[in-house]
A and B are shown apart, each in its own frame.
Chain A
Amino acid sequence: MPQALLIRGGRVIDPASRLDARVDILIENGRIAQIGDGLKAKNAEVFDAAGCVVTPGFIDIHTHLREPGREDKETIATGAQAAAAGGFTAVCAMPNTTPVNDSASTTRFIVETAKREAIVRVYPIGAITRGSKGEELSEYADLKSAGCIAISDDGRPVQNARVMRRALEYARTFGLPVIDHCEDLDLSKGGAMNEGAVSVAMGIPSAPHVSETIMVERDVLLAEFTGSHVHIAHISTARAVDAVRRGKARGVRVTAEATPHHLTLTDEAVRAHDYDPVTKMNPPLRSEEDRQAVIAGLIDGTIDAIATDHAPHTTEEKICEFDCAAFGIVGLETAFALCHDGLVKTGLLDLTRLVQLLTLGPARALGLPGGTLEKGQPADITIFDPAEVRTVKPESFRGKSRNSPFVSRTLTGWPVVTIVDGGVVFRSK
């Protein structure tokens, strides 16, 4: 890492300070030293950011790094590579590893491995219940002191309302947000995709949208009842967005995130891809009405962050019959381009709001550091080219897995440089 790095001539957007101007940023000793016009520095590496946009480093609050246990799909090291290639300077690692991260020792393993091998920041998320079985609470104090920044049983809901209530109450002591994967397992049983005209025509077993909505409504009420903070993972239905909106309006401590694929695809994609399980994930791709409502939630602030739910899988688990395939797609490396191309370029979302949803929004939602460009803070910075046109080629993914429905899509707007602690961790050619 050089002593100084000068980012010159880029359009700097920092939602926290409402900055949107063509200014320079000087980084020294890993921190932001100055932000201003016509900066000069001795012995500084100069990066010409003309034509590019410079923002705080993106933060992904929902990633599956698969290590420990499924290093065949992804490791902390490769997941971090993928993150950096997507412009992310920090990721939050979900605990559904093998073993589940429900103990301080597993958390410490993740933290230490990340320190050694990850080129971006890795914040572990601990499990809400032991083994994520939904029955007994994990040791939140230990998890927090080992480094967990939130708790979740992601992959599964906390089906039992009594357990969810206790988790919310207990987590409050430690200031840990409770992230819920909202799905009523009885309603969604056997479902491989969203229940609707497409699933009926294709004969694929399906889960109705109410299976998500019911749990979101429940969680909002429980958060209100306990006074605790609940964060809704990967929100995907219109009625769930509405539940969060109403909750926020009456002061409930609820936040929510949405994924790039739910913002840009519907269940029609399953038909368009002819039963290819690259279109299979949980929550599933929904109807156009749902998709529009999620976008509206992004615009009016009901949804606080865009999060990838990056879920790597081996080819064996995705090249098979639809209902046998694993749920999930990778997303770190295509997230920004998809959102920029599908939402900003089409005029649905303005660029500043997109930046906020990837930086300040996620940071505030989970109480994480970063998400801003502030003098004296560690220099986590993302630089992207809003005009770059590129086709998604899985062979060039830096992550280990290739399960993406966006293969061969041509998108506009790509990250070009990712900087963590003042050091360049990704540079596209």
Chain B
Amino acid sequence: MTGWTQKHLLGIEPLSVEEITLILDTAVQMREIMERPIKKVPTLRGRTVVNLFMEASTRTRASFEMAERILSADSLSIQAAGSSVSKGESLLDTVKNLEAMTPDVIVVRHSSAGAANFLARCSNSRIVNAGDGAHEHPTQALLDAFTLRQSKGRIAGLKIAIVGDVLHSRVARSNIHLLTKMGADVTLCAPPTLLPQEFSSLATLSWRIDEAIEGADVVMMLRLQQERMTSAFISTMREYHAQYGLTLARLKRAKSDVVVLHPGPMNRGVEIASEVADSKASLILDQVTNGVAVRMAVLYLLLGGGRE
């Protein structure tokens, strides 16, 4: 393994198992720093990271900001409304203006799939994809994997059920790539309107949550957005919860030491019952803590190779 050589982190799909493992191993050491009395190391001192969030997000942005500050980087967050088509500056111009301030890394979240790829093409900075439309959210999958490795000691061979709106979920896509690359056995579960057949080459597909959860080591729940109801993907939230919601009773079908993950924010009572979210099986809060460590690892690795 020659160490990290990629300029950008645009997704999990282009990464090798070695590269994923390197990020996770580095994150272990970063996690330790968060336990110190002084949660600061000088590693990225003098480096500038711009968080360009063109889609609302408090938690992912806060997580990146914290990661940047622990590493002593200068962190600047820009919350911009909308995209090129809506009023205001085009994405291209926004990025060109940012470039003029010579950031080292741009962390970008955008509602259009391929937005991070677009930035990587038209900017000189290193780009970290913090979520682009329905395409990928690599740091989420990495922190999910870190949390699983921490809890179960491995990823290979784990039986993992991903339940929820797979069609629109970048978290699902990134996780499908990562978990299958690392040798897990993945089942995707959703109503047919939200579960594209095209995923059958990577994972097992199921329309029944009871079947998907049977004997699972890990259950990963995805958020269901209100608008899926109004655009005819599902009937009502009530029926969705009845058919696809994770309750304690349903969880009994999984292994006795099953763990539950959720990228947040949760719709309590819709995709996940409160008792499950607050139970011992839930690693949801660990995911948040680990998110900072994983993002520290990504920034540390990306800024190798010195200044250009």
Contact = CB atoms under 8 A, between A and B. Distances in A.
Direct contact of A and B (CB under 8 A): yes
Interface in A198-235: 200-205
A320 B91 CA distance: 7
Contacts of A41: none
B134 A203 contact: yes
Contacts of A275: 113-114, 117-118
B199 interface: yes
A200 B198 contact: yes
Given A203-B132, A321-B110, A274 B121 contact: yes
A161 interface: no
Interface string B119-157: 001100000000011111000000000000000000000
A276 B134 CA distance: 17
B91 A321 contact: yes
Contacts of A321: 83-84, 91, 110, 112, 114-115, 118
B117 A203 contact: no
B90 A203 contact: no
- Of the listed residues B92, B122, B201, the one surrounded by the most CB atoms of chain A closer than 10 A to its CB is B92
Interface string A317-330: 00111111000000
Contact of A324 (B112, B196, B198): B112
B195 to A, nearest CB: 10
A107 to B, nearest CB: 32
A275 B127 CA distance: 16
Contacts of A322: 112-114, 118
A395 interface: no
A191 interface: no
Contacts of A320: 83-85, 90-92, 118
Give the size range of A's interface with the partner: 10 to 19
B114 A274 contact: yes
Interface in A286-336: 316, 319-324
Q: Which of B90, B91, B92, B118 has the most CB of A within 10 A?
A: B118
A187 to B, nearest CB: 12
A188 B37 CA distance: 56
A65 B92 CA distance: 27
A96 B69 CA distance: 53
B109 interface: no
A202 B134 CA distance: 8
B114 A202 contact: yes
B227 to A, nearest CB: 12
B159 interface: no
B83 A204 contact: no
Nearest to B173: A203
Nearest to A316: B90
A39 interface: no
Nearest to B119: A321
Nearest to B10: A274
B22 to A, nearest CB: 24
Given A202-B135, A203-B132, A316-B90, A323 B113 contact: yes
A202 B113 CA distance: 7
Nearest to B177: A201
A372 to B, nearest CB: 46
B170 interface: yes
Interface in B1-55: 13
Interface in B190-209: 196, 198-199, 201
A203 B170 contact: yes
Given A200-B198, A323-B113, 11 more contacts: A196-B198, A200-B167, A201-B198, A203-B133, A203-B136, A274-B114, A274-B117, A275-B114, A275-B117, A320-B84, A322-B113
10 contacts: A196-B198, A200-B167, A200-B198, A202-B135, A203-B136, A203-B170, A275-B114, A321-B91, A323-B133, A324-B85
Interface of B: 13, 83-85, 90-92, 110, 112-115, 117-118, 121-122, 132-136, 167, 170, 173, 196, 198-199, 201
In order of increasing CB-CB distance, the 4 nearest A-B pairs are: A275-B114, A203-B135, A203-B134, A321-B112
